[in-house]
């Protein structure tokens, strides 16, 4: 009984010896396309992104985000170049085109292609993780104004410095009409003498006593 | 003994005469074997090379220089590649021999070993 499959696989093996570099290149092209698609997928998934910039984040998180993005860029660049190198070969490689040396060079190049592809795959995945981490940091880290210790949002009420005939008054601008200006002045009730919220008082200043109004960051 | 017997082309697995000897030589870098010996059917000397190939990216974390593969064990299926024309060969056949194929056992893993 003749087992022709044995011979067919032997023939396939002989053919693969000649074609393996082409096969590996084609395989690398598929991987390169997959990695490129994966990188683009991150952009699609994170289209509902959080803040637009790192401004307003605490310094440590701002630098963390920047470092993650720089690392991600470097890793993705290395990965992309590695994938292209695997798919299309190294520029300037030469060998003597004798049968044995070419055969050895093909085997070498197959191994180098596989190594480049493996490195490209790993660096691309790590780079993508770094991008996701950077975006995650920008999502979850609170803004610096609210992290600075103030209980009230910084944009809630503007502070103003009002110069009156009796002297300057600083507080939060609560209300104003044609006759009076109402400020919320911290620590001026006089009862407790402290600067606690409980000691805050509302002061109405007639407009005819106002000399100037200047917006300030705080009192 | 003539170099070549002009047999008709036929794909079959003949019995290898016990007097036939085959040289199975591993290359210096260990990445391919070369089998040399007479075809049991057409008696031409056949040189058959089998290389170590890769089917996918390696899993190892650390990369080194050129890797020497594990020695081949078992036997190598060999088919005739004598290069002589043989009658009755179909024109679409990729064979370059008489169509015979056989197995050559691989000796113990020592470079340069012959059987």
pLDDT tens, per residue, chain A with 219 residues: 678 899 999 999 999 888 989 999 999 999 999 998 988 887 777 655 666 677 778 888 888 988 999 999 999 999 999 999 999 988 888 888 888 888 888 988 998 998 999 999 999 999 999 988 888 888 888 776 544 444 445 556 788 888 888 888 888 888 888 888 888 887 655 444 444 444 557 888 888 888 888 888 777
Which residue is associated with the tokens 């209300």? A175
- The torsion angle over the Cα atoms of residues A191, A197, A198 and A201, rounded to 10 degrees, is 60
Buried b (16+ CB within 10 A) or exposed e, A5-30: eebeebbeebeebeebbeebbebbee
Interface contact flag, A10 B51, Cβ < 8 Å? no
User: CB of A35 within 8 A of CB of A83?
Assistant: yes
A99–chain B Cβ distance below 8 A for any pair: no
CB contact under 8 A, B57 and A114: yes
- pLDDT category at B59 given cuts 50, 70, 90 is low
Distance from CA of A33 to the nearest CA of B (A): 16
SS (H, E, C) A54-104: CCCCCHHHHHHHHHHHHHHHHHHHHHHHHHHHHHHCCCCCCCCCCHHHHHH
Query: Distance between CA B95 and CA B78 in Å, rounded?
Result: 12
**Residue B55, CA atoms < 13 Å, CB-side half-sphere:** 1
Q: Which of B13-17, B94-98, B111-115 has the lowest mean pLDDT?
A: B111-115
When pLDDT is cut at 50, 70 and 90, the band that residue B96 belongs to is very high
Distance from CA of B57 to the nearest CA of A (A): 5
A159-216 CATH, one of 1.10.1220, 2.30.30, 3.10.20, 3.30.2320: 2.30.30
Positions of CATH 2.30.30 in chain A: 159-216
> Cβ contact (<8 Å) for B31 and A115?
no
Those of residues 49-68 in B touching chain A at CB distance below 8 A are 49-54, 56-58, 63, 66-67
Beta-bridge partner residues of A206: A180
In this prediction the ipTM stands at 0.82
Interface touch B77/A7, C-beta < 8 Å: yes
Alpha helix segments (H runs only) across chain B: none
Render B19-47 in DSSP notation, one character per residue: T---EEEE-TTSSEEEEEEE-TTT--EEE
Structure tokens at B18: 């016990």
Retrieve residue A143's tokens.
């803004």
Cβ pairs bridging A and B (under 8 Å): 58
3-state secondary structure of A129: helix
């Amino acid at each position: 009984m003749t087992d022709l499959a044995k011979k067919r696989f032997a023939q396939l093996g002989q053919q693969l010896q000649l074609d393996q570099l082409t096969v590996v290149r084609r395989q690398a092209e598929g991987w390169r396309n997959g990695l490129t698609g994966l990188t683009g997928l991150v952009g699609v998934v994170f289209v509902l992104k959080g803040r637009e910039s790192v401004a307003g984040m605490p310094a440590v998180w701002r630098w963390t985000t920047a470092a993650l993005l720089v690392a991600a860029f470097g890793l993705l660049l290395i990965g992309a170049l590695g994938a292209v190198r695997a798919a299309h070969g190294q520029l300037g490689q030469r060998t003597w085109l004798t049968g044995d040396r070419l055969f050895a060079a093909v085997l070498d190049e197959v191994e180098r292609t596989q190594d480049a592809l493996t490195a490209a795959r790993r660096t691309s995945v790590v780079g993508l993780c770094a991008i996701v981490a950077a975006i995650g940091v920008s999502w979850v880290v609170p803004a610096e104004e609210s992290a600075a210790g103030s209980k009230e949002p910084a944009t809630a009420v503007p502070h103003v410095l009002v110069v009156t005939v009796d002297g300057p008054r600083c507080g939060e601008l609560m209300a104003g009409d044609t006759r009076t200006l109402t400020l919320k002045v911290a620590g001026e009730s006089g009862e407790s003498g402290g600067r606690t919220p409980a000691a805050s008082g509302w002061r109405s200043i007639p407009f005819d006593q106002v000399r100037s109004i200047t917006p300030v960051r705080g009192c | 003994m003539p170099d070549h017997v002009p047999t008709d082309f036929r794909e079959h697995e003949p019995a290898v005469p016990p007097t036939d000897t085959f040289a199975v030589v591993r290359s210096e870098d260990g990445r391919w074997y070369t089998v040399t010996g007479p075809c049991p059917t057409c008696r031409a000397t056949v040189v058959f090379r089998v290389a170590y190939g890769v089917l996918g990216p390696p899993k190892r974390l650390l990369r080194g220089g050129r890797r020497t593969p594990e020695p081949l064990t078992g036997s190598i299926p060999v088919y005739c590649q004598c290069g002589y024309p043989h009658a009755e060969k179909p024109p679409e056949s990729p064979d370059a021999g008489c169509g015979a194929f056989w197995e050559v056992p691989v000796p113990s893993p020592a470079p340069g070993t012959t059987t």
